[in-house]
């Protein structure tokens, strides 16, 4: 892998994940709707306007039009740019310092970098979740916030809940991205090195990064989905006049309530769409990042 400065990795990582977001945002919309469906209600006791991936895509189009599949895209791009810029920058610093060469260093560096990125990007993810949940009354799942735009949502939250309101739900977002980032960065690096060692593909081929991303996406989906469900619930729940959540008191409370009232399998609600979203997003973002790093590294070499 070409060596580039952490600041360059910040730009490349943010750019790569924003490119991936454009393609995977429709999957994020479907995943959000499925994760909010039947909130705190036992299976079989609520209507299910969204049933599986393809039927859910059709349901979104019927309710919101074709453009409905790109709901929250602007907020999603903002989140990907902020979160992944910080994440890749911090991870690159750890690599530069040699921390990732230590036993378990890759996982720790990925988790810490992900946590910092999630904190910085939390307001954007809050707005993205709420915008993607919004739809017509007949197809609504979860609380409806009725925002008109990204800036309008940020202004409303700021005015009604103050600065702290913009970071409401961050307690669910940090562990979500920590486990996902650790799994993604650790398995991608290991898988890519393993594929290169097998010499099945040309060493500089983009297919090497693609293979690494495919393996990485399985691990990310497996460990991240329960935290993803919790994070979606915490971000979208209604709040009282003081900005306190009316359904959940935090990460642990949300986990317990979902387990008790919906059953343990509810923590994997939307697993199929979640993987269909996480898989392509992981593959595309890591592929774009890897290829951009190669180009940047070659450019630096040519300039010296």
Q: Please, which residues have CB within 8 angstroms of residue 276's CB and are 6 or more apart in sequence?
A: 27, 53
User: Residue 300: is its pLDDT beyond 60?
Assistant: no
Q: Please, which residues have CB within 8 angstroms of residue 181's CB and are 6 or more apart in sequence?
A: 87, 110, 111, 113, 114, 115, 117
What the block records as the tokens of 28 is 């994020």
Distance CA 142, CA 36 (A): 5
Contact (Cβ atoms closer than 8 angstroms) between residue 100 and residue 28: no
% of residues, the chain, pLDDT over 70: 91
pLDDT single digits (tens) 178-221: 888 777 777 877 787 888 888 777 777 777 777 777 777 778 88
| Cα–Cα distances in angstroms (integers) from residue 109 to residues 84, 102, 220, 270, in the given order | 14, 10, 16, 29
Phi, psi of 203 (to 5 degrees): -55, -35
pLDDT of the residue at 3:
63
List the beta bridge partners of residue 245: 239
Distance CA 129, CA 232 (A): 7
Contact (Cβ atoms closer than 8 angstroms) between residue 9 and residue 91: yes
Distance CA 268, CA 262 (A): 11
Q: Please, which residues have CB within 8 angstroms of residue 140's CB and are 6 or more apart in sequence?
A: 133, 134
Q: Which span out of 70-74, 191-195, 276-280 was modeled with the highest average pLDDT?
A: 70-74
User: Residue 301: is its pLDDT beyond 70?
Assistant: no
Dihedral over alpha carbons 287, 70, 178, 142 (to 10 degrees): -160
Residue 79: name the closest of 34, 131, 31 by CA: 131
Mean pLDDT check: name the lowest of 30-44, 61-75, 241-255, 274-288.
274-288
Kindly report the length of the chain. Answer: 304
Q: What angle do CA 144, 147, 150 make, to 5 degrees?
A: 130
Distance CA 244, CA 165 (A): 9
- Average pLDDT of the chain? 87
pLDDT of the residue at 304:
46
Helix (H, G, I), strand (E, B) or coil at 238: coil
Distance CA 52, CA 271 (A): 10
Distance CA 217, CA 180 (A): 9
Q: Could you tell me the pLDDT band of residue 171, with boundaries at 50, 70 and 90?
A: very high
Distance CA 84, CA 114 (A): 8
User: Residue 168: is its pLDDT beyond 60?
Assistant: yes
Contact (Cβ atoms closer than 8 angstroms) between residue 206 and residue 291: yes
Which pTM value belongs to this model? 0.85
């Amino acid at each position: 892998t070409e060596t580039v400065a952490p600041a360059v990795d910040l730009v490349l990582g943010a750019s790569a994940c924003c490119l991936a977001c454009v393609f995977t945002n429709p999957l994020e919309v479907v995943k959000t709707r499925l994760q909010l469906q039947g909130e705190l209600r036992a299976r079989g006791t609520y209507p299910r306007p969204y049933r599986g991936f393809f039927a859910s895509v059709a349901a979104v189009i019927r309710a919101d039009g074709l453009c409905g599949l790109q709901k929250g895209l602007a907020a999603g791009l903002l989140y990907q740019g902020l979160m992944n810029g910080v994440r890749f920058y911090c991870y690159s610093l750890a690599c530069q310092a040699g921390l990732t060469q230590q036993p378990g260093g890759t996982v720790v560096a990925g988790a810490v970098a992900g946590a910092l990125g999630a904190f910085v990007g939390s307001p954007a993810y809050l707005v993205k979740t709420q915008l993607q949940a919004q739809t017509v009354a007949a197809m609504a799942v979860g609380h409806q916030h009725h925002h008109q735009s990204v800036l309008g949502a940020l202004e409303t939250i700021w005015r009604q809940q103050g600065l702290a309101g913009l970071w409401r739900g961050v307690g669910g977002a940090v562990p979500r991205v920590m486990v996902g980032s650790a799994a993604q960065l650790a398995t991608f690096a290991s898988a890519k090195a393993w594929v290169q060692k097998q010499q099945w593909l040309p060493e500089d081929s983009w297919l090497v990064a693609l293979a690494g991303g495919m393996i990485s996406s399985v691990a990310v989906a497996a460990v991240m989905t329960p935290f993803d469900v919790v994070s979606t619930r915490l971000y979208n729940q209604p709040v009282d006049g003081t900005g306190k959540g009316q359904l959940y008191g935090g990460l642990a409370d949300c986990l317990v309530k979902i387990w008790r009232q919906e059953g343990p399998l509810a923590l994997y609600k939307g697993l199929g769409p979640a993987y269909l979203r996480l898989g392509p997003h992981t593959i595309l973002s890591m592929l774009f990042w890897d290829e951009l790093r190669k180009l940047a590294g070659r450019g630096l070499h040519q300039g010296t």
